[in-house]
Amino acid sequence: MNFSLAPIPRAIALAGVLLLQPGAALAQPEEKPPTFSAAQIPGITRVGPNYTIENQVLSNGLQRVYFVKTPYGEFTVQGDAMLQMRLVELLALSQLEKVSNSESFARAMAQAGLDPLKFTGRVIANPLGTVKETFSGVGAMLGRIQSGVANAGKTQDKPLASALGVTSEKRELAAHHGVDPYTDFPPLKAKLDQLARAAALGGLTVTGALVAVPGAAGIVVSNISTANKLNNIAVEELARKYTAAQILDQNRALLAKMRVDPNLSASLLANPNYTPIDLAVMLAALDSMPVQGREIFVARAAAAPSRAIAYFTRRQAEMLADGNRRNRNFVRFVDLAGYPFLLTREGRIVAVAPIDALSWTEETAAGFGAITAARQQAAPKARGELRITGQATALAKRQLKAQGWTVRERQQN
């Protein structure tokens, strides 16, 4: 089945939103997002050595929202994928604290002429206090149908300056524990900085005194993707051996190879909501997909207004690359109401996303209304397919089916 995608006027792209606004869509059923029990969610360990997940898990229309209590403060985590990343980081932090509290570490510090008390104990770091975010992150993403990239990357200077100061000791230590050396998780960042400073000042090797503690050493399940390479360099090697500036240079070179507009590339690289490793993983995934229109995905990624949406976008790129490796069926990206979709050889329009709890809220109804209007305008005969990592409510599936979408649940994350 072949067809061409016609340009979509702004009025058409907005039509679905306008028709589904409160007061204009009273006939359209909507629902409150469901809640979940953390103890019953597969793959989630509710209580760990340094955290407890509140048992009631909310959702925002697209993803589950977790509240995690730790000795370092309380944190809100949006989505199963980001929670898995945080649990890896908390496990690494637990192991690093065993290192800094061990007798062997204290002896090594004393022998180096350093005060062990400066490098031991828990790092209590929650500068914002208890964080109970509003659901303005991923859950509101579909409500930003026409948001652009005009403001992306205007606050990158300070985060980048901090990233450039990451030492080789810190990179090695982070890689050993399978975490991003440029992590945005404050307590882990503080502990990595602390131990890396101790290693540098004491002349210690990270693979020696800093990991030689029984029960603390060993690679944990990594949240650094190793499935792809960036310019023939494995992502894990980038994290271990390359500075942030070097990684950004690699990212920039790959964007140029994909013929992305330099201004758009600069906007993406300046977005402070991604770490250099996030960008490397995301761009390596896109590079592995020989499809047309990759700049459509890059434009949406550059506009990510929060850390939650940035990580969602990174994971989406990884899922797309994995799907392309298995099927080799994608032809090109298409833009529907500001969101990247893929056109298949059979003429289907496909979305692949790390959505773990899709419900038919006001925002998802409005967003999919606009997307459906755009699809019908661009390719009236095309069927849509939505592949998600989790599940959709019965109402969401019925409404999407009525709009010409098939929902495929429990896709590989």
- The string of pLDDT tens digits covering residues 251-305 is 999 999 999 999 999 999 999 999 999 999 999 999 999 899 999 999 999 999 9
Mean of pLDDT over the chain: 79
Domain residue ranges in the chain: 66-133+154-223, 224-311
Residue 48, strand partner residues: 51
Task: Determine which of 144-153, 223-232, 380-389 has the lowest per-residue pLDDT on average.
Answer: 144-153
Q: What is the pTM of this model?
A: 0.81
Residue 106 neighbours by CB distance under 10 Å: 17
Confidence band for 233, pLDDT divided at 50, 70 and 90? confident
The tokens of 168 are what? 């080789």
Residue 114 has pLDDT above 60, yes or no: yes
Give the mean pLDDT of 149-174: 54
SS3 label, residue 250: helix
Q: Is the pLDDT of residue 133 over 50?
A: no
- Asked if residues 289 and 321 have their Cβ atoms less than 8 Å apart, the reply is yes
- Residue scoring higher pLDDT (10 or 223): 223
Q: Where residue 34 falls among pLDDT bands split at 50, 70, 90?
A: very high
Task: Determine the Cα–Cα distance for residues 10 and 24; give it in Å rounded to an integer.
Answer: 20
